Amino acid sequence: MGRLFGTDGVRGVANADLTAELALGLSVAAAHVLAEAGTFEGHRPTAVVGRDPRASGEFLEAAVVAGLASAGVDVLRVGVLPTPAVAHLTGVLGADLGVMLSASHNAMPDNGIKFFARGGHKLADDLEDKIESVYEEHRTGAPWARPTGAGVGRVRDYDEGFETYVSHLLAVLPNRLDGLKVVLDEAHGAAAHVSPEAFARAGAQVVTIGAEPDGLNINDGCGSTHLGLLRAAVVEHGADLGIAHDGDADRCLAVDAAGNEVDGDQILAVLSLAMREAGTLRGDTVVATVMSNLGFKLAMEREGLNLVQTAVGDRYVLESMKENGYALGGEQSGHVIVLDHATTGDGTLTGLMLAARVAATGKSLADLAGVMERLPQILINVKDVDKSRVNTSGELAAAVTEAERELGSTGRVLLRSSGTEPLVRVMVEAADIEQARAVAQRLADVVKSALG
């Protein structure tokens, strides 16, 4: 698998890449690393462990729980809950560690392990690196120091987690949803029960699809990566809006009453104006990535809001928010972070806040999302090139400069090296789709000739 930890924990095909032995070993290593770092000092350590409904999550949960308990960590097993719920519970229960078993929007055969530090925040990179090195060291020979007798960890189910999380969501909602009809697509995932419960208690009339997880159907033709079913259901039921989550419900995408997609950029635009009005948008600033649509940037400028852009990945958005005290950030893919109420992207919270804005204003979601115009965006992946030279090629730099001159202030060019494949991504935005397509193809040809 190469380096075990990626940008969002450890992922792979369950029982092939991500085995029970690996899950157990990483859990023991995490316990030892956190103990050495002083996290457990002066008290008996506790961990919160949750999962999404994937079949493989059952045996991987057992492995993680066994590893933690064998290392002297007490375990609160919260069962099937969204990733942001596990993060929230890790914080409010004062746990030393949180563990979520999920591969998010990936297909069912995959699974993953994500660790949260005390407070429910993502584990620091240096601790992830240390866990990986300690795991490798002990995997190849050095035996673990293991507690015995009363020193071993105790395991119990924490059934109150569902109610604690739903109550939190309702407590931070700015207003009720009475009078709204909402269709929820739960991707047969971790929010299949939480999200409908929260929306119903908030006053919405709820129609659910993709809310019958059987361990095998997660993300299968539904959820935030497949909006077709949600579009059709919203129109069929005459709903005001639809909300789609991914498998672990840290994402939220939406559709308006006509079935048109409302993406993460548009959701950020709507929430930014709502939060500014409420006085909670600190610094009048929103954080997004360089892949956000140019239409979003132009809308923020027009509305007098500041936009900070980071590298692609919600981890970079979160880092910028925490370092500078910003309250709202996210990605086009639907990862939206409201830092006053969540330590990570929370799809259910995002959906509730979006619906609350519709209810509070009396405007349709289409009208609210109309604050920004999505400019046509063309993305071409140029394969089998030397991506390491993307920033040093004079020929390519000249081509980009010419493209930017041609597009002017209503267009944008972005070249990115893939982090995992030998390819360069060429992204062009323009007011006219044909112009965007022509410029993107021309740049792709230059990338191929210059870096091939």
Kindly report, residue by residue over 216-257, the tens digit of the pLDDT: 999 999 999 999 999 999 999 999 999 999 999 999 999 999
Catalytic residue (one of 56, 102, 104, 272):
104
Please tell me if the domain spanning 5-159 has the same topology as the one spanning 163-369.
yes
Reported confidence tier of residue 13, pLDDT bands at 50, 70, 90? very high
Share of the chain above pLDDT 90, in %: 84
Which of 7-16, 98-107, 189-198, 326-335 shows the lowest mean pLDDT across its residues? 7-16
Is 240 annotated as contributing to ligand binding? no
3-state DSSP assignment of residue 414: strand
Once rounded to an integer, what is the mean pLDDT over residues 263-271? 98
| CA-based torsion, 65, 71, 76, 81: positive or negative | negative
CA within 13 Å, CB half, 211: 17
pLDDT (tens digit per residue) in 317-356: 999 999 999 999 999 999 999 999 999 999 999 999 999 9
DSSP conformational letter for 231 = H
Assign a CATH topology to domain 377-451: TATA-Binding Protein (3.30.310)
Model confidence at 1: pLDDT above 50: no
Host H or E run for residue 54: none
**Average model confidence (pLDDT) across the chain:** 94
pLDDT at 420: 61
- Start-to-end C-alpha separation, the chain: 27
5-159 sits in which CATH class? alpha beta
Burial 86-121 (b: 16+ CB within 10 A, else e): bbbbbbebebbbbbbbbbbbbebebbbbbbbbbebb
pLDDT (tens digit per residue) in 145-162: 899 999 999 999 999 999
Task: From residue 111, give the alpha-carbon distance in Å to each of 12, 103, 235.
Answer: 6, 4, 33
Q: Where are the domains of the chain?
A: 5-159, 163-369, 377-451
Is 248 annotated as contributing to ligand binding? yes
Q: Which has more pLDDT, 209 or 315?
A: 209
**Contacts with 401 (C-beta within 8 Å, 6 or more apart), sequence order:** none
Is 314 annotated as contributing to ligand binding? no
Model confidence at 372: pLDDT above 50: yes
| CA-based torsion, 12, 18, 23, 25: positive or negative | negative
The pair of three-digit structure tokens given for residue 111, joined into one six-digit string: 């699974």
The pair of three-digit structure tokens given for residue 171, joined into one six-digit string: 């407590």
Reported confidence tier of residue 5, pLDDT bands at 50, 70, 90? confident
| CA-based torsion, 12, 135, 124, 52: positive or negative | positive
Cα(271)–Cα(366) distance, rounded to whole angstroms? 14
Q: Can you state the angle between helices 161-172 and 347-361, rounded to 10 degrees? A: 30
Host H or E run for residue 264: helix 264-278
Annotated active-site residue 104? The verdict is: yes
Share of the chain above pLDDT 70, in %: 99
CA within 13 Å, CB half, 169: 30
Cα(57)–Cα(215) distance, rounded to whole angstroms? 9
Is 104 annotated as contributing to ligand binding? yes
Assign a CATH topology to domain 163-369: Alpha-D-Glucose-1,6-Bisphosphate; Chain A, domain 3 (3.40.120)
pLDDT at 419: 65
Return the CA Rg of the chain.
23
Model confidence at 417: pLDDT above 60: yes
Task: From residue 78, give the alpha-carbon distance in Å to each of 47, 85, 165.
Answer: 10, 9, 11
